[in-house]
Structure 1
């Protein structure tokens, strides 16, 4: 039979399933996917393999020839379209060195500019960094801090007296622990503790940080700067006996007040009836502003980072000092400034892993591209993308905030950039196998224009889709109400876009340079190429092309091979699975036979297939096709379980834990929080009731500077000078003392002490309005009044009481989570509202704040809300991009289902690991959409672009074309993140888990779920094709309407518009 004479009558045959009669009739009325008219379509349909005998063999061969012809027509059409010159690729090819050198100069200038402007300097950390600034809780805290600052900065010309304001972050605990003892409360241990405590006090710098006596006396107030149990025995410490200790402990058991004075120094097992403790601590209160090394800070809020740095240095010196004391006790120091220093030190060490990740990616990219030069270009693009993005973000977009969170983007861009390079290089290598793009003249090394036209357009489409979705996913985090997360989103989005520009501008020029000057000389490339070739040849049978003479007998050889397969299969049991295996083996034989008859340049294309491409095309695709039902059932079960686990996800109770539980800083932090009885400023929630503030003026306030709160707006109605208002405040103080919300009746009410002083009676009585300010000024001259003023309880300035506050210790423990803490916050809010309703004008606008602990409630809520909002935005945009990219609503829906599955799986995995919804987790939920879209979109695009009409061969072509790019992209992304497991910081190790889990789930849902879904119900022929059903009909309708309009104008004797004439002429 002469097959060539019958090609025009060959019908397209679906090997995966047969059409119904109605579908066949409907299909005959439509155009084929490539626009071949139905007049050229065959009218006969092939018979099944069971019934066809020899005929079905011939029809199947015709089917392969038919699709090979369509493949060739598609390739010719693609080459004709993509191979056209455009000014950009023409410039890259003709001005290659200009492109590369201009890019290098621009990158260097931007980098130097960034360094000169301080772009690489990290922003100072602040308590407000991760708070929701527009929440009512944060506003109340800001009003308290601004009112303190306003009074202190305007006192004595803006110069606050030295060390008059205690700073909570500087409050230092010195912990003692005895080894193998029943109690530390023995005479010998108390002497050892006292010796250590005195060594700290005797340090030369102690006087530069201790709390001053008053605003006029800067000497150390030891009664308020130093608290400890051993201090009780200072008068006889050298002669102290165990009997003295036992007597004092007996007094504690007999006196509740004495117990409360000392329990804060002991661990929780120490009670009034059980005066035993294996741990003890001393507490030092340090204050600002400070003066040290010739520098004098104006207020305690002036250059907070600079003052904290001095405090950290002082703490490190104290560590060295008390280690010189001879003691058998385990002694440790802790304050927040010291802990921040340790965290920063660890961060610097961990970031050295960037070099390791960078090196790994460079080695792998070199191996994959078989070129050190091209790998160097790719890594240079990554290296330069970072400073350029910093410069753009900080100095062009004016997003000044930049902290260690932004540095994590390095590990993200390593994988993304490598994926872009792989896609571009694979397209370039593919273009090299097409003879129309590769002239055989002697000047072929200089004539790369056709290849670059094809490569640039083809690769840019894929890179643009993945880069755009990734950038938008990052950009979605920019809408977060939490400033560092928002800043990270904008920066990472900029980084992705800058790296994308390097990929489509600079890297193509590098490819031209390599092909012109290095490809034939690079021994590394030859060596790697030879090694890979030998490895690949061991993995698959080589395709040996036959000569032209052999092709005449190819059909007979092919039929003989098919008949042999049939004979072998007939000896096995009949069944659907054996018939599918038979069809698959026959198809492989015929594909090999047809390959032998292809032109030489198409032989080169087939024979250049790499081992991993062969694996995905043959083995992987066939396995997924057989197991598709099982796979989809498994994914369905997993999705239900994953959604259930997500519902158990709880918000984080702290901003972030930087160091692991095994780290000594974390151990000490947890010990102070959990092992010791709490004091007034230690692991408690201090509630402040504040009068005299109304709001905040935020004109000119930066959205990226946590230290810039704005300016306080005073409450002009505030006035407590009248006796009735004085009495109202006294009533509120008494009410707080008896409130069930207050712990151990710990209320600080300066008004009561002031009225005792002013009235001369206890209990206090009110004083006249006329004498109020006179008495208040006199009270502030006393030590007690000075202490209240320095603690910012009395906001008195220039003869006016601008604000005042009363403090109470909440029963609620901190860091208990939103579900437990928010109801307590609401109770305090209700109490505040009741006070305002029952109060008269002048004292009826009180606010209440738990400072950090109340403000963090809004942060916890925003973690969840931000993750949900960001995910919805990212998924919606990704769906739009997928529809535009694939022009197939069905494929786009399957792709977005895969991406959703990845998100659900990773979030569920986080919850299974015991993570809580904090900074990293809320970030991850959004940005992993950008990670996960890459692999699916590659497969989706190739699936819909295939000339084949059946699901099996469409998926086969997609896996063969993109399997290696997906695999290589996954390797580099995993490799860039896996070294983070060596880090100490929890944030980095968690990020490593995030990268690894995201990539693995992305691979599963792309190569397994998406593939299986398309094998089962993927679109065939023109199903879901928006171009076929929407775009083309719309264009035809528009053209028809325009033609009708033009004809009508001609009939009326009018001239068509000039652009229409031009269009018709063309």
Structure 2
């Protein structure tokens, strides 16, 4: 049983303090509870909660900070990474507002903060992983270690950033302002983050390596003392990062990691088949049943469904008679018939700024339109009479003069020319003029006719009727013919589509018989909500297709291997379908925020797959001929960074779930889902696919020379010799992305013989390292100068 209580308070923001007082009390008493409220302050409360719940994002940021500290073992590098992320957002905002001069900043752009944190942490994890591997591999100078690290990490960092940015920028094709603005801001943020992580973060790593240890110990001791004194935190908790790095736990984790890698590769067929079947089932859920639904409510939900304000709007609002009447009228179509509105004289062009909601643009006049032409008058009269015979026309009671003004104008022109009572001669605007009228008579009499019609009670000014210019002698520049249809307004996309298709088909047939002066007409009705549904359904699918195409192009240009690029795109597609299927089963509908989330899912899903794919091609030559070994190499290098990136971004979303704002809850749910699905499919599905059918050696491998030019034989021979020497060096992995032939260490003697015999011109120096575990020395080959 429900009842309602009216409180004598005005619905305004002035009662916000009163509502906050109510929040402090338990509104349950004796089995009676307040389940819904309506104070008219829903939007104001949303603005207030929007700022209040930012502390949830702060906790998510602190968790990311802690994870990065644990992984890198350096608070300095962690802080520098956060600063780089903040700088990237600042650069993006500067470019967005001052360079592009965009003043509309929608709420959706805040989602870019979470994306920037995830991508920035991902790049930091990869760089630190490769840096540590290069340090442990050999004891060269710091510049050489940095050179090797950049050769290995730069490809993954740049490729993932460019593909993610391309996925965001692809959403620019949408006609919705909020989605366009988000695509611009997010795309710029990712590129700025890539620029800083490639230049800023390596410099920070060098500074950290050169930092005196004694000074570091002093700072660390002061930090521990301060946190113990003021925060009551134990030294073991503060030193957890160092403990994880130097204690036995790290050895245990390394053993568990090896076991996990063996587990993934051993059951590769099982992972690939099972996850592929899940992706196929998910595609059925997204595309067929229950499929991704379009929005079916004109009321925009701001809070969680359990909130009292949302409970009133969603459940209890239409149970009371003062609002139930409106609902019944909506369902019965009373006074809510879709109008039949036909326009001439104005071209159907929207030349406003799609990035600024207030920039509506200007009307563009159809220069070929001429209502005063006799053929235009005759055709318009015939059109109005044919319109009334159509099945979608709603007969009207009473007189509405402006609906098709040509009929009213003809009746007005049939008056007597001489008025004996007032002694007035109305010529030529009288019965002596024969329809269709000449242009001069029409232009002269229509002004007087409209003036007289305004004096009657039947002429209701509105959208319908002739529209005049503001010249000294006004002329008709546009005409609107409007009647009611017998189709009531509906939130159903299919219902509205049938109505529009029926009317436009008939109207196109009518225009085929129209004179040149009337062929520029077009039909419009109450299509605001329908247009939103149409743009979301078509624009989102198109954005997904463009994003996937751009991701494939960037990945192929980076690896130049068609097979691994197709594998990565297949894996990304499966991840997108599974993510969207989970959101569909959770009850999501394709609204503006959900459409932005789909674009963000593409950008975030790309990263993990690209890391594994790129490192598969970066495997040593002896591993490339064995799929399992190349896959194991990729997993060994990228498992930790990918797992930490998924963990940090996913948990940052988990901290947003306790919010009462629906957008924050949806963002948190989305981040948890997309990170979990992306990590699962990249680590098991893609890795399993590479272990089963990954390219061996140089199968499917292209070079830039093959794509853009045909080098001569001498340059090809020089390139092959250089590739052979590079394959023996410790930085050979990056060259495998573009070389066409691999060499093993056994080719060193032949290379030495060819080099000393002077078969290749030019001086050079190569360091050939034995990759066996017992290697303790290196071979230095110095070529002689040509005579």
TM over 0.5: yes
Note the alpha carbon deviations across 1:396-455, whole angstroms, 9 max, x for none.
2445543112221111111111111112222333333244226xxxxxxxxx43333333
Partner of 1:968: 644
How much has 1:1005 moved relative to structure 2?
Answer: 1.3
- 1:425-824 superposed matches below 5 A: 425-437=128-140, 448-515=142-209, 516-517=211-212, 519-521=216-218, 522-523=220-221, 531=240, 611-617=252-258, 619-648=259-288, 649-650=291-292, 652-653=294-295, 657-659=300-302, 660-663=304-307, 666=310, 671=317, 676-678=327-329, 684=336, 686-695=338-347, 701-706=352-357, 707-713=359-365, 717-719=369-371, 725=377, 732=384, 736=388, 740-741=391-392, 745=396, 749-751=400-402, 771-781=445-455, 785=459, 788-789=460-461, 795-796=467-468, 799-824=474-499
- 1:173-572 superposed matches below 5 A: 316=13, 344-351=47-54, 353-437=56-140, 448-515=142-209, 516-517=211-212, 519-521=216-218, 522-523=220-221, 531=240
Residue 915 of structure 1 aligns to a residue whose secondary structure is coil
Residue 294 of structure 2 aligns to a residue whose secondary structure is coil
Residue 687 of structure 1 aligns to a residue whose secondary structure is strand
| 1:943 aligned to which of 605, 611, 616 | 616
Whether the 8 Å CA contact 1:685–1:812 is kept in 2: the answer is: yes
Unaligned runs of 5+ in 1: 1-177, 182-188, 201-313, 322-329, 439-447, 541-608, 1044-1059
How much has 1:494 moved relative to structure 2?
Answer: 0.8
Whether the 8 Å CA contact 2:286–2:581 is kept in 1: the answer is: yes
CA distance in 2, matches of 1:932, 1:1020: 26
CA distance in 2, matches of 1:879, 1:316: 51
Whether the 8 Å CA contact 2:511–2:519 is kept in 1: the answer is: yes
Residue 848 of structure 1 aligns to a residue whose secondary structure is strand
Normalised to the residue count of structure 1, the TM-score between the two structures is 0.53
How much has 1:615 moved relative to structure 2?
Answer: 1.9
How much has 1:1034 moved relative to structure 2?
Answer: 7.8
Note the alpha carbon deviations across 1:121-168, whole angstroms, 9 max, x for none.
xxxxxxxxxxxxxxxxxxxxxxxxxxxxxxxxxxxxxxxxxxxxxxxx
Residue 173 of structure 2 aligns to a residue whose secondary structure is coil
Whether the 8 Å CA contact 1:467–1:497 is kept in 2: the answer is: yes
How much has 1:496 moved relative to structure 2?
Answer: 0.5
CA distance in 1, matches of 2:216, 2:17: 61
CA distance in 2, matches of 1:865, 1:703: 17
Note the alpha carbon deviations across 1:508-534, whole angstroms, 9 max, x for none.
232233331454442469967964576
RMSD: 4.8
CA distance in 2, matches of 1:1021, 1:1010: 19
Whether the 8 Å CA contact 1:536–1:611 is kept in 2: the answer is: no
Count of aligned pairs: 651
Partner of 1:157: none
Whether the 8 Å CA contact 1:480–1:486 is kept in 2: the answer is: yes
CA distance in 2, matches of 1:759, 1:892: 70
Whether the 8 Å CA contact 1:749–1:806 is kept in 2: the answer is: no
Partner of 1:877: 550
Note the alpha carbon deviations across 1:37-57, whole angstroms, 9 max, x for none.
xxxxxxxxxxxxxxxxxxxxx
Partner of 2:522: 847
CA distance in 1, matches of 2:100, 2:271: 47
How much has 1:350 moved relative to structure 2?
Answer: 4.7
Whether the 8 Å CA contact 1:478–1:486 is kept in 2: the answer is: yes
CA distance in 2, matches of 1:964, 1:975: 16
How much has 1:823 moved relative to structure 2?
Answer: 1.3
Whether the 8 Å CA contact 1:414–1:976 is kept in 2: the answer is: no
Residue 982 of structure 1 aligns to a residue whose secondary structure is coil
Residue 365 of structure 2 aligns to a residue whose secondary structure is strand
- 1:979-994 superposed matches below 5 A: 979-994=655-670
CA distance in 1, matches of 2:468, 2:93: 45
Alpha carbons of structure 1 residues 724 and 804: separation in structure 2 relative to 1, 3 Å: closer
Alpha carbons of structure 1 residues 425 and 723: separation in structure 2 relative to 1, 3 Å: closer
CA distance in 2, matches of 1:483, 1:989: 23
Note the alpha carbon deviations across 1:862-905, whole angstroms, 9 max, x for none.
43443343333333333344344445444333333222221222
Residue 327 of structure 2 aligns to a residue whose secondary structure is coil
Note the alpha carbon deviations across 1:719-762, whole angstroms, 9 max, x for none.
479999599669938955x765356848983337999999999x
Alpha carbons of structure 1 residues 805 and 316: separation in structure 2 relative to 1, 3 Å: farther
Matched, 1:929 2:594: no
Whether the 8 Å CA contact 1:938–1:962 is kept in 2: the answer is: yes
CA distance in 2, matches of 1:795, 1:875: 48
CA distance in 2, matches of 1:746, 1:451: 87
CA distance in 2, matches of 1:697, 1:1017: 52
- 1:80-119 superposed matches below 5 A: none
Whether the 8 Å CA contact 1:688–1:808 is kept in 2: the answer is: yes
CA distance in 1, matches of 2:62, 2:102: 31
Alpha carbons of structure 1 residues 961 and 612: separation in structure 2 relative to 1, 3 Å: farther
CA distance in 2, matches of 1:797, 1:1020: 74
Partner of 1:1010: 686
Note the alpha carbon deviations across 1:644-671, whole angstroms, 9 max, x for none.
2232234524689442544555556554
Matched, 1:863 2:557: no
How much has 1:1000 moved relative to structure 2?
Answer: 1.0
Residue 751 of structure 1 aligns to a residue whose secondary structure is coil
| 2:567 aligned to which of 882, 887, 894 | 894
- 1:126-205 superposed matches below 5 A: none
Alpha carbons of structure 1 residues 1030 and 637: separation in structure 2 relative to 1, 3 Å: same
Whether the 8 Å CA contact 1:691–1:718 is kept in 2: the answer is: no
CA distance in 2, matches of 1:1012, 1:782: 80
Whether the 8 Å CA contact 1:733–1:749 is kept in 2: the answer is: no
Partner of 1:241: none
